[in-house]
Structure 1
């Protein structure tokens, strides 16, 4: 499975390690992903999503259905 958040679309990014002598070597910035089960009250089902921890906080704040609706409008939702 790819390291991509199913809701926000966050994925691995590439950057540089920069030493004190300003030498640059490539590195990866990996998103903090977790597999998490969420309850959907409208359907009465549980769904499992691979999401970033920042998205878990957003779901706690705004609710699951509102967050999924906004992600679908934005075009980042991949279920």
Structure 2
């Protein structure tokens, strides 16, 4: 299952781990997704939504 918010489409970000010897390896920061039962036009639907969408009120729990 993709690490992507169903509302805003926010996905993981990529960067580097940098060791003390300055060796770099790729790493990723995943989105904080929560399963939420949200109200939609056709009723309620189970969605995976990021916490920033929940906090700003983009999703209405139902």
TM-superposed deviation, 1:54: 1.0
Secondary structure, aligned partner of 1:22: coil
Match of 1:57 in 2: 55
C-alpha RMSD over aligned residues: 2.1
Which sections of structure 2, spanning at least 5 residues, go unmatched? Answer: none
Report the number of matched residues.
60
Match of 1:47 in 2: 45
Structure 2-normalised TM-score? Answer: 0.75
TM-superposed deviation, 1:44: 8.4
Which segments of structure 1 move beyond 4 Å, counting only runs of 4 or more?
none
Match of 1:76 in 2: none
TM-superposed deviation, 1:49: 1.5
Secondary structure, aligned partner of 2:48: strand
Which sections of structure 1, spanning at least 5 residues, go unmatched? Answer: 65-79
